[in-house]
Structure 1
């Protein structure tokens, strides 16, 4: 067994490699459509010339899509608050049933929640198929080390997905988690979307290099990572007939309401919670797992908590369109940016309809959506959810911080119906409500904080741990 000093050094080196790789991946343009650069040759079960994006357009009857906004020129139409709210009159009410009945008691919420879930599954993020294969977890490495004065125990896991129904596709979920080595019982777990080949099993780069490991341990928490790309590749085209989506479909194309990558990544977290439930020796409390992600992984973190009610808390950072941002707030990244061949793979195929200039002779836009992101946030209630953003230029207009904050204002009504604390009911003109002062934590069980940094969660990590301790009980702090 390696010495504690050697393991600590390995943790740091691999952490540094991870942060560089994660940063590189987030900075690169997503070349997900068929025919884009860096596309590998199609596997044997995909017919030559197959175009996945076009195949979905054909299924939906879409003849023409509207182009997305240009993120390189964030000014003018689409980046002006004065013209951002024309679709707000069409915004659905989170507390009104589909038949018009008002939800006025907590007892009515499960029925209304089910309606919202159905709309999101059918039209936005897609459904997890009933035949999704089982996962068998294997511990591939166990190491000891230290973070500061805290002794730790790290386990590297691989979740082998049963491929017997379609052996051509192999899916091995990569995950890693660390707990205080001297914990007497199960601890809460802070899981992050991240981790890459070469850095797994040694902790996540952003966690270890910005002090999150120390933050977690000093609050009686463990920390870990799950690699989303080991579940479903972060690209469209032929990749959607591979990964867990392709495996469940036995290599065939998606139907319009099949799951996209965001839902698939969340499914992976759910499988990890299953592991914690089945293995108490892991010293992780499966009822106290929090999920964190930034940017596309911020979207995934919110989707994960919204759909899996076992997720105890979430830190949703800089999530933008497809995450906490209101679709109907026409400011920054928009629906059309997620319906193009570059990013459609995050969503269900049906979502592409809302970027259509011509679908069976008509056009559709964000005002036609049956739901919006305030209802996605509301699906997290009554569990604690922390929405995080940075400031410009690091978090530019593109991510639409105001539109995300206002979505939380509307979701607060559901939290308050369930006896929890949101942003408060004093907000009347939510459409034009300004952001709280930078550095101010707004709310309670549903919280919002804009930090001084850019497109990262790092400056809000200490505030998350101070905040979440009010809602997720942790053991006595290690070392006390």
Structure 2
């Protein structure tokens, strides 16, 4: 990755100027295999992370690695214009003389007072929507498939993002969606008629769109709350643990399979299809890019294909980052089975409501400590975590 692309990667993560901190980015064959989950508290050059300031530099380093090896580079800001058309916020983005427009439908709540906090749904919001609306939270539909298609492996380079940046751009669909969400937030900031408080935004999505929600939350610090729903491998489920589930005879999606299914990742990510242990990071660190902002991982124990055990244990490892930052109550894990995919069960409504009340409605004293599963998974991450968690000051 050249200096220009590293700078773009840093800017995309709101970390402009981190190029002097960029890690070495060797080829797959030159990366050292790491069977356990890599240490988020050690820089690529071996230095330990000792402070919260160090974590910001480490986060910058991880942001570059994740974009280089897994996602592709998310471009920086582009000129945006916006207008309301009925319930739709029509967003127009211009780049080098080309313009791409997309509508984002806004469903204002029954309760609360404008300007309203809002949850952006990657494709849709499939949470306890009626509760959220009564609480005063608006729902916004982000049409991610218009930004970057995800029909199958033949979708690469298709969609409005690629009309602007070229069909050969290295960004996979999720990096393109993240760029689109950032442009939507730009539009909300400059459109008072939308009646949305752009300082109180969440992002959510389910399944493949849950993966996208994590990426959007990781790469835009204006997002205060990320709710990842049944996001599976490449979302909350880590590559290494999913491989272990598969090796144990379970029907779990792995890196080897996912790169053949769709275009969510950068094209070159397929190099890791037989070498997931050579990745210098795993999904616990991708989720960790959100820290110390809020993340709620909502999982379904019944979905073996999505890496049910992997999602729980990888999320446990990610939670150590919030613990190190003294923000453990801003990262929750709620896993329960026995319900259809992407249909939030009533037993998880309270967790979603608590996170919305605290992080979007600014209610004090809301208990957001949640770490639950109805599975038989080990709650101690030590089998996969061989590093220590520091207390960062």
Q: Trace 1:72-471 onto structure 2 (pairs within 5 A).
A: 89-130=35-76, 134-141=79-86, 155-162=87-94, 165=97, 171-180=100-109, 183-194=112-123, 206=126, 212=129, 214-235=130-151, 239-251=155-167, 253-254=168-169, 258-329=170-241, 330=243, 331=245, 332-340=252-260, 342-343=261-262, 345-355=263-273, 364-392=274-302, 395=303, 397-421=304-328, 444-452=329-337, 453-459=339-345, 460-471=348-359
Give a deviation string over 1:295-320, Cα, whole Å, max 9, x none: 00010011110111111101101111
Q: Distance between the aligned counterparts of 1:470 and 1:162, measured in 2?
A: 36
For 1:366 and 1:136, locate their aligned partners in 2 and report how far apart those are by CA, in whole Å. Answer: 41
> Which has more radius of gyration?
1
8 Å Cα contact 1:177-1:225 kept in structure 2: yes
Given that 1:176 and 1:224 are in contact with CA atoms closer than 8 Å, whether structure 2 keeps it comes out as yes
Paired residue secondary structure (1:346): coil
Structure 1, gaps ≥5 residues long: 1-60, 63-86, 142-154, 196-203, 356-363, 422-443
In 1: Cα distance, 2:280 partner to 2:351 partner: 34
CA distance in 1: counterparts of 2:294 and 2:213, whole angstroms: 13
Equivalences, count: 323
User: TM-score, normalising length from structure 2?
Assistant: 0.75
Deviation at 1:321, TM superposition (A): 1.2
* SS of structure 2 residue aligned to 1:136: strand
CA gap 1:374/1:136 in 2 versus in 1, 3 angstroms: same
- SS at the partner of 2:182? helix
Contact 1:245 1:264 survives alignment (8 Å)? yes
User: What is the RMSD of the two structures over their aligned residues, measured on CA atoms?
Assistant: 2.6
Asked if structure 1 preserves the Cα contact closer than 8 Å seen for 2:118 and 2:360, the reply is: no
CA distance in 2 between partners of 1:465 and 1:457 (Å)? 16
Structure with the bigger RCO (C-alpha within 8 Å, sep 6+) is 1
8 Å contact 2:148–2:173 — kept in the other structure? Answer: yes
- Contact 2:120 2:203 (C-alpha < 8 Å) held by counterparts: yes
Shift of residue 224 of structure 1? Answer: 2.0
Question: Helix, strand or coil for the counterpart of 1:157?
Answer: strand
The separation in 1 between residues aligned to 2:157 and 2:287, in whole angstroms, is 30
